[in-house]
Chain A
Amino acid sequence: SAVISQKPSRDICQRGTSLTIQCQVDSQVTMMFWYRQQPGQSLTLIATANQGSEATYESGFVIDKFPISRPNLTFSTLTVSNMSPEDSSIYLCSVDVSSYNEQFFGPGTRLTVL
Protein backbone atom coordinates (compact mmCIF):
# COMPACT_ATOMS: atom_id res chain seq x y z
CA SER A 1 0.00 0.00 0.00
CA ALA A 2 0.96 3.66 0.07
CA VAL A 3 0.86 5.99 3.04
CA ILE A 4 0.05 9.56 2.14
CA SER A 5 0.26 12.58 4.38
CA GLN A 6 -1.05 16.05 3.73
CA LYS A 7 -0.26 19.36 5.33
CA PRO A 8 -2.04 21.29 6.63
CA SER A 9 -4.93 19.10 7.72
CA ARG A 10 -7.17 22.14 7.87
CA ASP A 11 -6.93 25.90 7.59
CA ILE A 12 -9.09 28.97 7.72
CA CYS A 13 -7.98 31.68 5.31
CA GLN A 14 -9.01 35.16 4.30
CA ARG A 15 -10.24 35.86 0.81
CA GLY A 16 -7.60 37.05 -1.60
CA THR A 17 -4.82 35.06 0.03
CA SER A 18 -3.16 31.84 -1.15
CA LEU A 19 -2.59 28.50 0.53
CA THR A 20 -0.13 25.80 -0.44
CA ILE A 21 -1.06 22.22 0.38
CA GLN A 22 1.65 19.60 0.60
CA CYS A 23 1.31 15.93 -0.24
CA GLN A 24 3.96 13.41 0.76
CA VAL A 25 4.00 9.73 -0.20
CA ASP A 26 6.08 7.03 1.45
CA SER A 27 7.08 5.47 -1.87
CA GLN A 28 7.98 6.64 -5.35
CA VAL A 29 5.02 7.03 -7.67
CA THR A 30 4.72 8.21 -11.24
CA MET A 31 1.40 9.99 -11.09
CA MET A 32 -0.19 12.03 -8.35
CA PHE A 33 -3.72 13.35 -8.56
CA TRP A 34 -5.37 16.31 -6.88
CA TYR A 35 -9.11 16.26 -6.20
CA ARG A 36 -11.53 18.76 -4.75
CA GLN A 37 -14.54 17.80 -2.66
CA GLN A 38 -16.90 20.68 -2.17
CA PRO A 39 -19.23 20.58 0.84
CA GLY A 40 -21.67 17.71 0.52
CA GLN A 41 -20.40 16.85 -2.95
CA SER A 42 -18.40 14.15 -4.65
CA LEU A 43 -14.77 14.32 -5.68
CA THR A 44 -13.78 16.26 -8.76
CA LEU A 45 -10.38 15.88 -10.35
CA ILE A 46 -8.40 19.12 -10.47
CA ALA A 47 -5.23 17.95 -12.18
CA THR A 48 -2.79 15.13 -12.74
CA ALA A 49 0.82 15.72 -11.75
CA ASN A 50 3.57 13.77 -13.43
CA GLN A 51 7.09 14.23 -12.16
CA GLY A 52 9.22 16.30 -14.46
CA SER A 53 6.44 17.75 -16.56
CA GLU A 54 3.66 20.30 -16.36
CA ALA A 55 0.50 19.22 -14.60
CA THR A 56 -2.51 18.40 -16.73
CA TYR A 57 -5.63 20.29 -15.67
CA GLU A 58 -9.24 19.27 -16.05
CA SER A 59 -11.84 21.46 -17.64
CA GLY A 60 -12.76 24.28 -15.31
CA PHE A 61 -9.42 24.35 -13.51
CA VAL A 62 -6.51 26.57 -14.57
CA ILE A 63 -2.88 26.74 -13.64
CA ASP A 64 -3.04 30.36 -12.51
CA LYS A 65 -5.62 29.48 -9.90
CA PHE A 66 -4.26 26.06 -8.89
CA PRO A 67 -0.53 25.91 -9.59
CA ILE A 68 0.98 22.52 -8.90
CA SER A 69 4.56 21.48 -8.33
CA ARG A 70 5.97 17.98 -8.56
CA PRO A 71 9.66 18.22 -7.77
CA ASN A 72 10.24 14.51 -7.18
CA LEU A 73 8.56 11.12 -7.14
CA THR A 74 7.29 11.35 -3.55
CA PHE A 75 6.09 14.92 -3.18
CA SER A 76 3.69 17.44 -4.69
CA THR A 77 2.12 20.73 -3.76
CA LEU A 78 -1.14 22.35 -4.79
CA THR A 79 -1.61 26.07 -4.29
CA VAL A 80 -5.05 27.62 -4.12
CA SER A 81 -4.50 31.20 -5.25
CA ASN A 82 -6.48 34.37 -4.68
CA MET A 83 -9.00 32.45 -2.62
CA SER A 84 -12.70 33.18 -2.41
CA PRO A 85 -15.37 31.54 -0.23
CA GLU A 86 -16.24 29.30 -3.19
CA ASP A 87 -12.85 27.63 -2.76
CA SER A 88 -13.92 26.26 0.63
CA SER A 89 -13.54 22.52 0.10
CA ILE A 90 -11.60 19.47 1.06
CA TYR A 91 -8.56 19.01 -1.16
CA LEU A 92 -7.23 15.49 -1.50
CA CYS A 93 -4.20 14.07 -3.18
CA SER A 94 -4.02 10.50 -4.34
CA VAL A 95 -1.54 8.16 -5.91
CA ASP A 96 -1.89 5.13 -8.06
CA VAL A 97 0.25 2.21 -6.99
CA SER A 98 0.06 0.10 -10.08
CA SER A 99 1.20 -3.06 -8.39
CA TYR A 100 -1.93 -2.84 -6.24
CA ASN A 101 -4.14 -1.63 -9.09
CA GLU A 102 -5.81 0.93 -6.89
CA GLN A 103 -5.60 4.52 -5.81
CA PHE A 104 -4.71 5.57 -2.30
CA PHE A 105 -5.91 8.84 -0.88
CA GLY A 106 -4.43 11.25 1.58
CA PRO A 107 -6.49 12.36 4.57
CA GLY A 108 -7.37 15.64 2.88
CA THR A 109 -6.96 19.31 3.67
CA ARG A 110 -10.11 21.02 4.86
CA LEU A 111 -10.03 24.62 3.68
CA THR A 112 -12.41 27.34 4.82
CA VAL A 113 -12.23 30.74 3.16
CA LEU A 114 -13.86 33.65 4.93
Chain B
Amino acid sequence: AQSVTQLGSHVSVSEGALVLLRCNYSSSVPPYLFWYVQYPNQGLQLLLKYTSAATLVKGINGFEAEFKKSETSFHLTKPSAHMSDAAEYFCAVSVFSGNTPLVFGKGTRLSVIA
Protein backbone atom coordinates (compact mmCIF):
# COMPACT_ATOMS: atom_id res chain seq x y z
CA ALA B 1 0.00 0.00 0.00
CA GLN B 2 1.16 3.50 -0.70
CA SER B 3 1.52 6.26 1.85
CA VAL B 4 2.62 9.88 2.07
CA THR B 5 4.48 11.68 4.83
CA GLN B 6 4.59 15.44 4.96
CA LEU B 7 7.23 16.76 7.31
CA GLY B 8 6.05 19.74 9.26
CA SER B 9 2.39 20.42 9.88
CA HIS B 10 3.09 24.15 9.85
CA VAL B 11 5.71 26.11 7.95
CA SER B 12 6.19 29.84 8.33
CA VAL B 13 8.25 31.94 5.91
CA SER B 14 8.81 35.61 5.31
CA GLU B 15 7.44 37.26 2.21
CA GLY B 16 10.01 36.90 -0.56
CA ALA B 17 11.74 33.93 1.06
CA LEU B 18 12.08 30.44 -0.34
CA VAL B 19 9.18 28.07 0.25
CA LEU B 20 10.08 24.41 0.82
CA LEU B 21 7.37 21.91 1.72
CA ARG B 22 8.53 18.35 2.18
CA CYS B 23 6.83 15.20 0.98
CA ASN B 24 8.09 11.62 1.11
CA TYR B 25 6.15 8.73 -0.31
CA SER B 26 6.08 5.00 0.01
CA SER B 27 5.00 2.90 -2.92
CA SER B 28 5.78 -0.57 -4.16
CA VAL B 29 5.35 0.52 -7.76
CA PRO B 30 6.27 3.69 -9.63
CA PRO B 31 3.96 6.33 -8.23
CA TYR B 32 1.99 9.21 -9.58
CA LEU B 33 2.45 12.20 -7.27
CA PHE B 34 0.43 15.34 -6.80
CA TRP B 35 0.47 18.56 -4.84
CA TYR B 36 -2.85 20.23 -4.05
CA VAL B 37 -3.51 23.57 -2.38
CA GLN B 38 -6.53 24.40 -0.26
CA TYR B 39 -7.27 28.03 0.50
CA PRO B 40 -9.44 28.79 3.53
CA ASN B 41 -13.02 27.65 3.06
CA GLN B 42 -12.34 26.44 -0.47
CA GLY B 43 -11.93 23.11 -2.22
CA LEU B 44 -8.71 21.56 -3.45
CA GLN B 45 -6.84 22.92 -6.45
CA LEU B 46 -4.15 20.98 -8.25
CA LEU B 47 -0.77 22.71 -8.16
CA LEU B 48 1.23 20.16 -10.12
CA LYS B 49 1.58 16.48 -10.85
CA TYR B 50 4.31 13.96 -11.61
CA THR B 51 3.27 11.23 -14.00
CA SER B 52 6.58 9.58 -14.93
CA ALA B 53 7.69 12.17 -17.45
CA ALA B 54 10.17 14.89 -16.47
CA THR B 55 11.36 14.64 -12.88
CA LEU B 56 11.22 18.42 -12.39
CA VAL B 57 7.62 19.45 -12.58
CA LYS B 58 6.47 23.03 -12.91
CA GLY B 59 3.04 23.98 -11.67
CA ILE B 60 0.85 26.98 -11.26
CA ASN B 61 1.62 30.12 -9.24
CA GLY B 62 5.38 29.65 -9.58
CA PHE B 63 5.56 26.35 -7.70
CA GLU B 64 7.64 23.40 -8.78
CA ALA B 65 8.53 20.00 -7.41
CA GLU B 66 11.25 17.49 -8.12
CA PHE B 67 10.71 13.75 -8.10
CA LYS B 68 13.70 11.97 -6.56
CA LYS B 69 13.28 8.24 -6.70
CA SER B 70 16.43 7.51 -4.67
CA GLU B 71 15.09 9.64 -1.83
CA THR B 72 11.40 8.74 -2.38
CA SER B 73 10.71 12.45 -2.19
CA PHE B 74 8.60 14.99 -4.03
CA HIS B 75 9.29 18.29 -2.27
CA LEU B 76 7.44 21.43 -3.29
CA THR B 77 9.33 24.69 -3.72
CA LYS B 78 8.78 28.28 -4.71
CA PRO B 79 11.66 30.76 -4.95
CA SER B 80 9.82 33.73 -3.47
CA ALA B 81 6.78 33.51 -1.20
CA HIS B 82 3.82 35.82 -1.62
CA MET B 83 1.22 36.62 0.98
CA SER B 84 -1.35 34.96 -1.27
CA ASP B 85 0.48 31.62 -0.92
CA ALA B 86 -0.79 31.22 2.64
CA ALA B 87 -2.86 28.05 2.52
CA GLU B 88 -2.90 24.34 3.31
CA TYR B 89 -0.84 22.15 1.00
CA PHE B 90 -1.42 18.45 0.50
CA CYS B 91 0.84 15.91 -1.13
CA ALA B 92 -0.91 12.87 -2.59
CA VAL B 93 0.03 9.62 -4.29
CA SER B 94 -1.63 7.05 -6.50
CA VAL B 95 -0.26 4.03 -8.26
CA PHE B 96 -2.36 4.10 -11.39
CA SER B 97 -2.82 6.76 -13.95
CA GLY B 98 -6.57 6.93 -13.72
CA ASN B 99 -9.72 6.00 -11.83
CA THR B 100 -7.80 5.39 -8.65
CA PRO B 101 -8.35 7.26 -5.42
CA LEU B 102 -5.56 9.35 -3.98
CA VAL B 103 -3.80 8.80 -0.70
CA PHE B 104 -3.14 12.13 0.96
CA GLY B 105 -0.55 13.30 3.41
CA LYS B 106 -1.66 15.11 6.55
CA GLY B 107 -1.06 18.48 5.01
CA THR B 108 1.23 21.43 5.72
CA ARG B 109 -0.13 24.81 6.60
CA LEU B 110 1.98 27.58 5.07
CA SER B 111 2.01 30.97 6.72
CA VAL B 112 3.65 33.96 5.02
CA ILE B 113 4.84 36.79 7.21
CA ALA B 114 5.04 40.32 5.87
Give the interface of A toward B (CB within 8 A). Answer: 30-31, 33, 41-45, 48, 92, 94, 96, 98, 101-108, 110
Q: Nearest-CB distance from A83 to chain B (Å)? A: 21
Q: Can you list 21 A-B pairs with a CB-CB distance of less than 8 A?
A: A41-B107, A42-B90, A43-B44, A43-B90, A43-B102, A43-B104, A45-B103, A92-B43, A96-B98, A96-B99, A96-B100, A98-B97, A101-B32, A101-B49, A101-B97, A102-B34, A105-B36, A105-B45, A107-B43, A108-B43, A110-B41
Give the chain A neighbours of B90 by CB distance below 8 A.
42-43
- Least Cβ distance of B89 to chain A in Å? 11
| 4 tightest Cβ-Cβ pairs between the two chains A and B | A98-B98, A107-B43, A105-B44, A31-B99
User: A31 contacts which chain B residues (CB < 8 A)?
Assistant: 99
Q: Chain A: which residue is nearest B99 at the CB level?
A: A31
Is the Cβ of A105 less than 8 Å from the Cβ of B34? no
Determine if B105 is an interface residue (Cβ-Cβ < 8 Å).
yes
Q: In the complex, how many residues of chain B place their beta carbon closer than 8 angstroms to a beta carbon of chain A?
A: 23
Q: Is B2 an interface residue (CB 8 A)?
A: no
Shortest distance between the CB of A47 and any CB in chain B (Å): 9
Residues of chain B within 8 A of A104, CB atoms compared = 46
Contact across chains for A101 and B101 when beta carbons are under 8 A apart: no
Instruction: Confirm or deny: B51 has a beta carbon within 8 angstroms of a beta carbon on chain A.
Output: yes
Which of B32, B42, B98, B100 has the most chain A CB within a 10 Å cutoff? B98
Interface residues of B in 33-82 (CB under 8 A from A): 34, 36, 41-46, 49, 51
Contact B42 A42 (CB under 8 A): no
Q: Known: A43-B90, A92-B43. Contact between A98 and B104, CB under 8 A?
A: no
A30: chain B residues at CB < 8 Å are 99
Given contacts A96-B99, A101-B97, contact A41 B106 (CB under 8 A): yes
A98-B44 contact, Cβ under 8 Å, with A41-B106, A42-B105, A42-B107: no
Partner of A102, one of B49, B103, B105, B106: B49
